Structure 1
Amino acid sequence: MTLRPPLRIAGITELPPSAPGMRIGLFGGSFNPMHEGHLLVMAETLRRLRLDRLFVLVTPGNPLKDNAGLPSLAERVGAARALIGDPRIKVTGFEAARGFTYTWQTIDFLTRTLKDRRFVWIMGADSLADFHRWERWRDIAARVPIAVYVRPGASPRALASRAAAVLDHAQLDEADAPLLAGMAAPAWVYLRGRQSALSSSAIRAGTAAG
């Protein structure tokens, strides 16, 4: 298991509280920065999956990306919290305190230590397109249901991806999205709906140009 050096920051890296039986969405990323597109995905998945909570997992750094110039974890968590008004959404950098590098480590920890919660992993369609590149992606799909939210221009590549083909047997009809959190993995749903053209990389490029 590849671990980073643990990083504990009071008020930043604690795991948010929850209660047995809760249906909890897990939405991970660098969030550099968080933007309205992220907020849209959170609002839509909370509603359509009928979740009780949504944990926004701000990663110490994406192992598939260049993390040079990445703002500190505390900065990104603070900026994300400042944008969010829904009390059901909790932003945390808890992965850093555990030294986790990969999503499968987070999923393994949460499903072992909080067995009486109903977790759903949430990702954008662009992430599904590259899901087969994630470390132990098959293990992730075998441990928690997954909700994939449409992203502008990403649908053709996502739905034709290696992961989508492998998990084809486990795909739910979109109308059955409210059932997802209560289902045993593997199970996933592709959610179409309102979209935002915003992206963190475009915002960073615009800021640099300005």
Structure 2
Amino acid sequence: MRTQKIGLLGGSFNPAHDGHRQISLAALRLLNLDQIWWLVSPQNPLKSSEGMAEFEDRMMAAEKIAHHPKIHISDFEARIGEQRTARTIAALKVTYPQHKFVWLMGADNMIQLPAWQQWQQIMEMVPIAIFNRPGYTYKALNGKVASMYRKSRVLNTLHGDYRRQLAELPPPAWAFLPETAFNLSSTQIRNYHDSVGNTCS
């Protein structure tokens, strides 16, 4: 299999929504990637299992939402019995040594990253692309992660968009994508459906 540049979008996808799809399409274009893999987690260790849909249901819903030949819905974490991002990335790099991976996350997750297990190891294992999220951007770009890895930031310059080379760069390397400003989250969607259900009942 030839080398491909692959964006990794991890999460519970509870539920998957168009924001995930739009982020993926933006990553394909802005980062010059070949594929996006949605890594559907059996259970996010930082989130409660209450209200979590069945894994198979979340996988099927993600397939319907993605609906794109370059977006692949993956059960990799379930197959290896892992929920921790650092270990998942390490396993992916061993399983697919021919590929170049980029981790995709929103500005809100960049703020939360220091709470993740072995978060600095994540920064050192793969390049990372940060997506703009209204209300989180300033705090993310002035937070602990951005401060510690300020010299590793890849910037768009007058001489070219070097973010398109992000997948090729040795980590640590991260880029912020201001063109992407999605304010939709799975939590908002769940809350909306809950409120509609309560109103109709």
TM-score interval (norm. to shorter): over 0.9
Instruction: Give the drift of 1:110.
Output: 1.1
Q: 1:206 corresponds to which residue?
A: 192
Q: 2:199 corresponds to which residue?
A: none
- Structure with greater helix percent: 2
RMSD: 1.1
For normalisation by structure 1, the TM-score amounts to 0.88
Once the two structures are superposed, the pairs formed by residues 90-169 of structure 1 within 5 Å of their partners are: 90-169=72-151
Could you tell me whether the CA contact under 8 Å between 1:37 and 1:198 is conserved in 2? Answer: yes
Letter in 2 for 1:74: E
Q: 2:172 corresponds to which residue?
A: 186
Partner Cα separation in structure 2 for residue 59 and residue 123 of structure 1: 14
State the SS of the aligned residue for 2:181: coil
Residue by residue over 1:163-200, the C-alpha shift from the partner in whole angstroms, topping out at 9 and shown as x without a partner, is 11111110000331101001111101000114232211
Residue by residue over 1:74-102, the C-alpha shift from the partner in whole angstroms, topping out at 9 and shown as x without a partner, is 10010010112210110012201111020
Could you tell me whether the CA contact under 8 Å between 2:133 and 2:180 is conserved in 1? Answer: no
Instruction: Give the drift of 1:112.
Output: 1.9
State the SS of the aligned residue for 2:87: helix
Residue by residue over 1:37-82, the C-alpha shift from the partner in whole angstroms, topping out at 9 and shown as x without a partner, is 1111101001111111110001011111112120011100100101
Could you tell me whether the CA contact under 8 Å between 2:131 and 2:181 is conserved in 1? Answer: no
Q: 1:23 corresponds to which residue?
A: 5
Partner Cα separation in structure 2 for residue 116 and residue 33 of structure 1: 31
Partner Cα separation in structure 1 for residue 66 and residue 185 of structure 2: 17
Which segments of 5 or more consecutive residues in structure 2 lack a partner in the other structure? 197-201
Instruction: Give the drift of 1:160.
Output: 1.5
Partner Cα separation in structure 2 for residue 53 and residue 185 of structure 1: 20
- Structure with greater strand percent: 2
For normalisation by structure 2, the TM-score amounts to 0.92
Partner Cα separation in structure 2 for residue 194 and residue 55 of structure 1: 18
